[in-house]
């Protein structure tokens, strides 16, 4: 029961995080939200997880959840990567303005 509550809180946190990211990266936000919501469901109904795991050819429900967890982590990592790219675009815009403001005409460079 304790593990279930702990996991639920974590997964709920991810659902909220994915929701806030949805506006910026819709594809990633949506998939993370879906996966985290599924995780939330299976934590409380592990027998359904076992049923689904057997259906898709994975031994136990716990393993399925573990795999799902790995997928979520990878998505979060990809999202961080995209965030870094967005940040780079901001830095570029800033550096561009600095560069243009500091343009040196040929005479003054000598």
Selected binder of another protein within 3, 55, 85, 90 (CB under 8 A): 85
Distance (Å) of CA 37 to CA 31, 50, 99: 10, 17, 47
CB closer to another protein, 74 vs 88: 88
Nearest Cα residue to 87 out of 4, 24, 2: 24
Our finding on whether 24 is near another protein (CB under 8 A) is yes
Q: How many residues bind another protein (CB under 8 A)?
A: 27
Contact 72, 39 (CB under 8 A): yes
Please tell me whether residue 25 binds another protein under the rule CB under 8 A.
Answer: yes
Region binding another protein by CB under 8 A among candidate stretches 9-17, 21-29, 47-55, 61-69: 21-29
Give Cβ neighbours of residue 97 (< 8 Å, ≥ 6 apart). none
Q: Which is nearer to another protein, 56 or 100 (CB)?
A: 100
Nearest-10 crossing angle of helices 46-56, 26-44 = 120
Q: Report the run of H or E that residue 103 belongs to, with start and end.
A: none
Is 47 one of the binding residues for another protein (CB under 8 A)? no
Which residues in this chain contact another protein in the complex, by CB under 8 A?
Answer: 24-25, 27-28, 78, 81-83, 85-86, 88-89, 91-92, 95-96, 98-100, 102-106, 108-110
């Amino acid at each position: 029961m304790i593990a279930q509550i702990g996991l639920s809180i974590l997964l709920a946190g991810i659902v909220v995080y994915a929701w806030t990211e949805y506006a910026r990266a819709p594809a990633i936000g949506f998939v993370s939200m879906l996966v985290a919501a599924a995780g939330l469901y299976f934590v409380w109904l592990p027998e359904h997880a076992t049923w689904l795991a057997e259906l898709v050819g994975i031994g136990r429900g716990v393993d399925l959840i573990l795999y799902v967890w790995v997928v979520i982590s990878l998505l979060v990592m990809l999202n961080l990567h995209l965030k870094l790219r967005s940040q780079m675009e901001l830095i570029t815009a800033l550096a561009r303005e600095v560069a243009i403001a500091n343009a040196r005409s040929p005479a003054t460079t000598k």
